[in-house]
A and B are shown apart, each in its own frame.
Chain A
Amino acid sequence: MSYEEKNITVSLVSHLLIGVYYLANLLPMIQSGELVAGRLYVLWAIVIAVNIVVNIIGSILTNILLTIVETIRSGKYEDPQFIEDERDKLIGLKGIRSSYITFSIGVLLSVFAFIFGQPPLMMISLIVLFSILAEIIGDVSKIYLYRKGG
């Protein structure tokens, strides 16, 4: 498994955890029919902020951990050179495309939900959910492409 694959796996796990946290908080509100604006704003803020922070910190931590593991494995410290070559860039772009397609479909479905009588808070909740789902789909497609070869 290359450095990029490990990085994407960490990103996928963190996005899955964020998705589970979001659903665990959102579903009880929907089931009880209490979509309170104040509580939803806090939930959205937490999810979006954690997503950004986890993306940055996850990348830094993965870098540090991989350097430590590599140093222990080889027995000597070498300045790590995690190259991103043309294949990595191509796979990254394909992953972003998958994310955009998922997010676009999600936004469309959310707008339709609003048109067919759902409250605006539900529409925005769905958009936030689809943004997390888009990140997950993007990560999964990148891992799939790395496994397939490019």
Chain B
Amino acid sequence: MGKSQVRNNIRKLRFHHDEMTQEQLAKKAGVTRQTIIAMEGEKYSPSLELAFRIARVFGVPLEEVFYYAPEDEAES
């Protein structure tokens, strides 16, 4: 199980939101901290519903949080 092709800016967005902790984000999004860690490490791609919930926590559109980067594009 390699890196997910769905990349994200969660770490950056947390930093820009008063250095929100993973625990705080997890509580607001209704998931465990381990899921936030897995997403930040790009080891887990969230469902569409969770992705929208996280974007809503940050108050930004979905594409500012998640973007698609296929392996061939990511390597080049």
Q: Which residue of B lies closest to A82 (CB)?
A: B32
Give the interface SS of chain A, mostly helix, strand, loop or mixed: helix
Knowing A85-B35, A87-B38, the reply to whether A150 touches B44 (Cβ < 8 A) is yes
Contact between chains at A87 and B1 (CB < 8 Å): no
How big is chain A's contact interface, by range? 10 to 19
Residue of B nearest to A84 (CB): B32
Task: Using known A-B contacts A148-B1, A149-B1, A149-B41, determine if residue A88 contacts B32 with beta carbons closer than 8 Å.
Answer: yes
Q: Is B47 an interface residue (CB 8 A)?
A: yes
Q: B-facing mask of A78-113, CB < 8 A → 1, else 0?
A: 000001011110000000000000000000000000
Q: Write the chain B residue with the least CB distance to A1.
A: B34
Tell yes or no: A2 within 8 A of B by CB.
Answer: yes
A87 vs B30: C-alpha distance in the bound complex, in angstroms? 12
How far is A148 from B38 in the complex, measured between Cα atoms in Å? 9
User: Which B residues form the contact surface with A (CB < 8 A)?
Assistant: 1, 30-35, 38, 41, 43-44, 46-47, 50
Chain A interface residues toward B at CB < 8 A:
2-4, 83, 85-88, 145-146, 148-150
